Amino acid sequence: MRMFFKKEWKFVNNMNERGFTLLEMLFGFSIFLILMSFIPLSLKFVASHSMFEARVQSLEWKVFVNQLKKEVRMSERMLNRSNQLVLIKDGDTVSYERYQENIRRRVNMQGHEIVLQQVDTVQYEATPSGVKVVYKDLYNQEHQAHLFMVMKDKAYDP
C-alpha cells in the first residue's frame, strides 16, 4: 500500500531532540499556580465592594446629620410637612425632602442640592426640642438622629 500525501517535516526532528524538560514544566506550573492564587483575593474584593459601599453610605449619613444640625440650630422656625422638613431662617425657607433615591435641599423652593444618596425611606418627627430624623438606606441600615433647636425666641410648629 502506498501512502500519498506523506510529507516529512524536517523541523520535527530538531524539536524532538530538544524536548520539553521537567524544569520547563515546573516553571510553567508555578506561574499557573501564582495566577490561580489571585482568584480568591479578587472574589473577596468583589464581595466586599458592597460592604465598602455600605460603609461609605454610613459616612455620608454622618456628614448629612452634621450639616442638618447646624441648619436646625440656626433656624428660627421649623415645620414638618408630609416627609418634608422645612426650616425658616433669615426670611428664607429651606426644605429637605426625598427626591427619587436622594434627599435634596432646596432654598425658597428653588435649586436642587443633593445632600444624601441611596435613600430608601426617611421620616422627620417633630419633637418639642427639635426634630428626630429616621433614615433607612438601600443597604437596609437604619440610622436616626435627634437634632435640637435653640429655643430662645424660636417658634415650633409640629
Place of cell 437596609: 140
Residue 133's φ and ψ, nearest 5 degrees, are -110, 125
Would you put residue 59 in left (φ > 0), alpha (ψ -120 to 50) or beta? alpha
Give the residue, 84 or 157, on which the prediction is more confident. 84
How many whole angstroms separate alpha carbon 100 and alpha carbon 37?
43
**Grid cell digits, residue 108:** 425658597
**Is the distance from CB of 60 to CB of 117 less than 8 angstroms?**
yes
Which range of 26-30, 47-51, 77-81, 138-142 scores highest in mean pLDDT? It is: 26-30
User: Global pTM?
Assistant: 0.62
Task: Report which of 118, 114, 113 is spatially closest to residue 137, judged by C-alpha positions.
Answer: 118
**Predicted confidence (pLDDT) per residue in 122-136, tens digit:** 888 888 888 888 888
Which is nearest to 57 in space by CA: 154, 147, 137? Answer: 137
**Is pLDDT at 32 greater than 80 in this prediction?**
yes
So what's the pLDDT on residue 154?
47
So what's the pLDDT on residue 35?
92
How is residue 23 written as a grid cell? 524544569
Give tens-digit pLDDT for 92-124. Answer: 999 998 888 888 999 988 888 988 888 888 888
